[in-house]
C-alpha cells in the first residue's frame, strides 16, 4: 500500500522571506521524517508530496496514492487547512483527518463556538470584533472583566501573550487595535477562564472515538502566567510542564465528556485535540477544537501526551491510519 505525505515545510517558507512567527504552525523536517519512518515501520510504502502546489503538480503528472497522510496547514485564509483535503476529494483519493468543511470551521474559533454553544457544549461567553470600525462600540459589550482576546483563526497560540488578559475598556481597545493591525483578521473576545487548563487527545471517528488521554498544562516560574501563550509553547521545556489527568481523578470524566461531545458534534475524524479550561467554579469549558493537531515526535502536545502514557509514536500513527482506512 502506497501512502503519500502532504505537508507545509516551514523552512521552505522561511526561505521565501516569511518570519518565524508567521510560519509557526508549519512543519519541521523532523515531523515529516517521524511520520514517514513510522509508516514504513508499519509496512507501508511512502512518498513525500509536499504542499498544495506540489500536490497539484504531482496530480497533473497522473500520480496517485492509496491514501494520503495529510498534515498540510496552509498559510493564508480561513480555508487554508481545507485546501489539500478539497483537492484530494476532487480526485477521489482517501486521506487522513477531517474533511474540508470541518477543517475550515474549526480554524475559525468564533464560528466553532457558535455551533458548539448551540448544541449545549460548555464554552465561555464571547463576542467577536470584526474590524476597527467596531472598536468605538466596545463600551457596550455584554461581558464582565477580566476578558481574554485572541485572533480568531491562528494556531500555535500566535498573537497570544500576557496582554491578552483584558481588565478594562481602555485595555480592550488598545490590545484589539494592535491585534487587528498585526493579524488582519477578526478577534475573539471571551470571558477569561481562570482555572486549570487541559488538552484532551482524541483518536477515532464518530461513535468509535476514544479519549486517548488528558494532559494538564502546568505553568512554571519562568512562564507567562495563566496563559498557554506563543512564547510559552515555543520555550515549553523551560516554562511549561505537563502531567496526566488520571482516570480516577474526579475531573476526568467531566473534562472528557466536554471534549468528546465537541469532537463528535463537529464530526472531526481520526485524531486531534480539544482544549478545555476550568472556569472560576471549576466547570470544564471548551476552548477550541484542533482537528489537525501537531505531530512533531518531540514537541507537539499529542505526542507529548503519548510519551507520558508510554504509547509509542508509531502506535499513534497506526491508530490514525487505521481510522482513516475505514473510509478508503
Instruction: Residue 308: give its domain's CATH number.
Output: 3.30.470.20
**Is 210 found in the same domain as 318?**
yes
Spatial neighbors of 241 by CB under 8 A, at least 6 apart, are 218, 220
Residue 155: pLDDT band by 50, 70, 90 thresholds? confident
Sign of CA dihedral 325, 7, 53, 153: positive
CB of 255 within 8 A of CB of 198?
yes
**Is 268 found in the same domain as 210?**
yes
**Is 199 found in the same domain as 301?**
yes
Q: Give the domain-ending residue among 95, 114, 148.
A: 95
Considering only CA atoms, which of 277, 264, 306, 280 is closest in space to residue 199?
277
**Is 155 found in the same domain as 91?**
no
Grid cell locating 309: 502514557
**Is 301 found in the same domain as 184?**
no
Q: Is residue 114 part of a domain?
A: no
Spatial neighbors of 312 by CB under 8 A, at least 6 apart, are 306
CATH of the domain at 9: 3.40.50
Q: Which of 150-159, 235-244, 255-264 has the lowest mean pLDDT?
A: 150-159
CB of 157 within 8 A of CB of 25?
no
Longest dimension (CA), the chain: 60
What domain range includes position 147?
125-191
**Is 277 found in the same domain as 204?**
yes
Grid cell locating 12: 521552505
**Is 164 found in the same domain as 70?**
no
Q: Is residue 32 part of a domain?
A: yes
Q: Is residue 267 part of a domain?
A: yes
Q: Given this model, what pLDDT does residue 141 score?
A: 86
Q: In the predicted model, is pLDDT for residue 139 greater than 90? A: no
CB of 320 within 8 A of CB of 203?
yes
Q: Is residue 109 part of a domain?
A: no
**Is 291 found in the same domain as 304?**
yes
**Is 143 found in the same domain as 240?**
no
Q: Give the domain-ending residue among 175, 191, 207.
A: 191
Q: Is residue 104 part of a domain?
A: no
Establish how many alpha carbons lie within 13 A of residue 238's alpha carbon, considering only the half-sphere containing its beta carbon: 5
**Is 83 found in the same domain as 204?**
no
Whole-number average pLDDT of the chain: 95
Grid cell locating 225: 502566567
CB of 176 within 8 A of CB of 186?
no
pLDDT above 90 covers a percentage of the chain that reads 88
Grid cell locating 205: 471517528
Quote the number of domains for the chain: 3
Q: Given this model, what pLDDT does residue 159 score?
A: 87
Q: Give the domain-ending residue among 163, 191, 219.
A: 191
Q: Is residue 242 part of a domain?
A: yes
**Is 148 found in the same domain as 84?**
no
Q: How confident is the model over 265-320, as pLDDT tens digits?
A: 999 999 999 999 999 999 999 999 999 999 999 999 999 999 999 999 999 999 99
- The gap from C-alpha 41 to its chain's centroid, in whole angstroms, comes to 27
Q: How confident is the model over 181-193, as pLDDT tens digits?
A: 999 999 999 999 9
**Is 201 found in the same domain as 169?**
no
Q: How confident is the model over 4-38, as pLDDT tens digits?
A: 999 999 999 999 898 888 888 899 999 999 999 99
Q: What is the spatial distance between Cα 228 and Cα 226, in angstroms, rounded to a whole number? A: 7
Q: Is residue 274 part of a domain?
A: yes
CATH of the domain at 184: 3.30.1490.20
pLDDT above 70 covers a percentage of the chain that reads 100
Q: What is the mean pLDDT of residues 81-103?
A: 98
Q: Is residue 318 part of a domain?
A: yes
Q: Which of 64-68, 96-100, 233-237, 274-278 has the lowest mean pLDDT?
A: 233-237
Residue 157: pLDDT band by 50, 70, 90 thresholds? confident
Amino acid at each position: 500500500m502506497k501512502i503519500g505525505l502532504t505537508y507545509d515545510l516551514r523552512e521552505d517558507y522561511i526561505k521565501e522571506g516569511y518570519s518565524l512567527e508567521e510560519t509557526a504552525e508549519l512543519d519541521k523536517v523532523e515531523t515529516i521524517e517521524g511520520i514517514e519512518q513510522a509508516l514504513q515501520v508499519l509496512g507501508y510504502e511512502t512518498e513525500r508530496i509536499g504542499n498544495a502546489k506540489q500536490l497539484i503538480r504531482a496530480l497533473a503528472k497522473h500520480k496517485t496514492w492509496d491514501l494520503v497522510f495529510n498534515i498540510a496547514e496552509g498559510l493564508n485564509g480561513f480555508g487554508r487547512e481545507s485546501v489539500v483535503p478539497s483537492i484530494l476529494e476532487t480526485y477521489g483519493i482517501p486521506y487522513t483527518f477531517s474533511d474540508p468543511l470541518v477543517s475550515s470551521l474549526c480554524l475559525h474559533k468564533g464560528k466553532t463556538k457558535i455551533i458548539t454553544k448551540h448544541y449545549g457544549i460548555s464554552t465561555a461567553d464571547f463576542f467577536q470584533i470584526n474590524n476597527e470600525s467596531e472598536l468605538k462600540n466596545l463600551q457596550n459589550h455584554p461581558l464582565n472583566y477580566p476578558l481574554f482576546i485572541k485572533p480568531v483563526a491562528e494556531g500555535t497560540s500566535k498573537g497570544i501573550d500576557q496582554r491578552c488578559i483584558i481588565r478594562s475598556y481602555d485595555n480592550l481597545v488598545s490590545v484589539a487595535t494592535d491585534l487587528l493591525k498585526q493579524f488582519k483578521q477578526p478577534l475573539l473576545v471571551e470571558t477569561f477562564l481562570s482555572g486549570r487548563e487541559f488538552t484532551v487527545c482524541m483518536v477515532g471517528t464518530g461513535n468509535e472515538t476514544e479519549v486517548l488521554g488528558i494532559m494538564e498544562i502546568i505553568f512554571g516560574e519562568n512562564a507567562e502566567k495563566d496563559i498557554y501563550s506563543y512564547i510559552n509553547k515555543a520555550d515549553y521545556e523551560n516554562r511549561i510542564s505537563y502531567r496526566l489527568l488520571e482516570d480516577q481523578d474526579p475531573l476526568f470524566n467531566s473534562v472528557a465528556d466536554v471534549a468528546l461531545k465537541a469532537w463528535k458534534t463537529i464530526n472531526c475524524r481520526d485524531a486531534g485535540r480539544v482544549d478545555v479550561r476550568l472556569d472560576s467554579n471549576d466547570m470544564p469549558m471548551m476552548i477550541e477544537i484542533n482537528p489537525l493537531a501537531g505531530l512533531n515526535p518531540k514537541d507537539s502536545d499529542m505526542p507529548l501526551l503519548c510519551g507520558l502514557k508510554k504509547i509509542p509514536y508509531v502506535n499513534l500513527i497506526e491508530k490514525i491510519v487505521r481510522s482513516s482506512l475505514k473510509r478508503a
